[in-house]
Structure 1
Amino acid sequence: MAELTEKTSALLDIFGKHAPVQKDGTFSAEAVKETVLEMADYIIANKEECSALKAWMDSHDFWTSPASTRFHGNVKGGLAAHSLMVAVQALRFAPAFAENFSLSKISDNFSFTAEDVFIAALSHDFCKAGTYAMESKKTKDFNGNWKYEPYYKTKSDLRNLGHGGESVLLLLDSMPSLLKNRTVLEAVKFHMGFSDLAPMETYNYSNILQNPLVLLIQLADQSAAQWWDL
């Protein structure tokens, strides 16, 4: 618990130093990238995979993609800003979350580290990187004049394995050692909760919820999207 508290605090200090996201949800894309990279360098122990992860984000439009087409973070760079805020929220909640879980009867079955929290939060929406295209539509302004308004639309040729499943696959592309870390993979796969379950997955979903990192990332994702509009 002491190590988790120490490392989450250090990661949050990095966020505070750069101040990439403001209280009103505005953000500096450059500061977001700088913050994420510094946090990754600090917490990811496998430096080869850390480098591969950063290369993946550079080559898959992670830094410029929106977080959605209209629900939250639907601006250039919104995906990276949202992912950072999910990480920040998860890191803020993590020590108290872990302490509370330690009181439960299944506490000996699961554990998570600050590295697990950061990686799961950062990668939970990797499936969105490079999946949107900028288009424009003809609308009228307040004076009744026609104008072209830009908007994001999901690419028509998109193919993936589902929201959480695709993010897991893309994470493993750069960090294959996580194949043995079921705690993180479950947190990424099921970060959408009941809204993104296949019929067969609903039967054993209660087992998935025993993993505290699943619930932590779900809470962090929702609070980042709703409280910061990111």
Structure 2
Amino acid sequence: MEINMEENKRRFMALVSECAAGRRGADRLLDWLASTDFFAVPASTRFHLSEPGGLCLHSLHVHDRMVQLMGLLPDPYPERVLSARLVALLHDVCKANFYTVEMRNRKNEETGRWEKYPFYIVEEKFPYGHGEKSAFLVDRYLRLTAEEAMAIRWHMGGFDDAARGGGYAVGNAFDKYPMAMLLHMADMLASHIDEAEREG
């Protein structure tokens, strides 16, 4: 089933506006995102939602999972819930203007002929890392709290290059900022359950 990019873009923009209501820079952040390819590109080149519009849909899935998970916090007061929903929506903005398309060959099983097809590849223009790049880009427009910055920075959990290097920073961040751990969990649930069901 084809992704409805326009509908997802409208929902994403409305949710960010709702979650960031009253915060300076939210409109500028949304204007910047609208000027990028964020709403049209895949969430990944081959792992999950590797199709046009996948990145925005993935962000919405993570948002919806984060809403469910916020009930696990001891004090999910309304501002904190809005904050958690916001970081879920913005955790992967590092992938805006991140992909390019090249043509590859594959054999058509029905005709036996080779055909060209478009294939997304990563063309990193600003190699700042993954979570840290998203936090940096958001913070240029909308000032993040320490917990929001930590959540976005460490949303990859043990899959982050810095964590694979053997450091303790991700564990320390999860201990000090529970929202960071919940964002990682929401991302994993969206990627491995919601989007796996779509693929299957």
Gap regions ≥5 residues in structure 2: none
Measure how far apart 1:201 and its partner are: 7.3
Rounded Cα–Cα distance in structure 2 between residues aligned with 1:81 and 1:33: 9
Q: Is the 8 A contact 1:29 1:77 kept in 2?
A: yes
Matches within 5 A, 1:157-168: 158-168=125-135
Structure 1 residue ranges, 4+ long, deviating more than 6 angstroms after superposition:
none
For residue 89 of structure 2, the aligned residue among 100, 122, 143 is 122
Question: How high is the sequence identity, in percent, across the aligned residues?
Answer: 29
TM-score under structure 1 normalisation?
0.76
Corresponding position: 1:152 with 2:125: no
Instruction: Please give the per-residue CA displacement for 1:75-103, whole angstroms capped at 9, x wherever unaligned.
Output: 111111101110111012212x113xx5x
Is residue 84–residue 179 contact of structure 2 (8 Å, CA) maintained in 1? yes
Q: How does 1:45-84 map to 2 (within 5 A)?
A: 45-46=21-22, 48-84=24-60
- Per the alignment, residue 87 of structure 1 pairs with 63
Q: Which residue in 1 is equivalent to 2:151?
A: 187
2:140 to 173, 179, 184: 173
Structure-2 separation of matches of 1:201 and 1:52: 37
Q: In 2 relative to 1, CA 117–64 (structure 1 residues): closer, same or farther, beyond 3 Å?
A: same
Match of residue 174 from structure 2: 209
Deviation of the 1:228 alpha carbon: 2.0
Offset of residue 206 of structure 1:
2.6
Count of residues in Structure 1 that have an aligned counterpart in Structure 2: 192
- Amino acid paired to 1:116: S
Which string of whole-angstrom CA distances, capped at 9 and with x for unpartnered residues, describes residues 150-183 of structure 1? 110112x6332101111111111111x22xx110
Change (3 A) 1:112 1:219: farther
- Following TM superposition, by how much is the alpha carbon of 1:119 offset from its aligned partner in structure 2, in angstroms? 1.6
**Within 1, Cα distance between the matches of 2:184 and 2:139?**
20
What's the C-alpha RMSD, in Å, of the aligned pairs?
2.3
* Structure 1 residue matching 2:195: 3-state secondary structure: coil
Conserved 8 A contact 1:112-1:183: no
Task: Provide the TM-score with structure 2 as the length reference.
Answer: 0.87
Question: Quick one: distance in 2 between partners of 1:216 and 1:26?
Answer: 29
Q: How many angstroms does 1:112 deviate by?
A: 6.7
Check the 8 A contact 2:154/2:170 in 1, yes or no. Answer: no
Checking the alignment, whether the CA contact within 8 Å between 2:102 and 2:120 is kept in structure 1 is yes
The 3 A distance-change label for structure 1 pair 201 and 124 is farther
Gaps of 5+ in 1: 1-24, 103-110
Taking the aligned partners of 1:206 and 1:226, their CA distance within structure 2 comes to 22
d(CA) in 1 for partners of 2:69, 2:170? 23
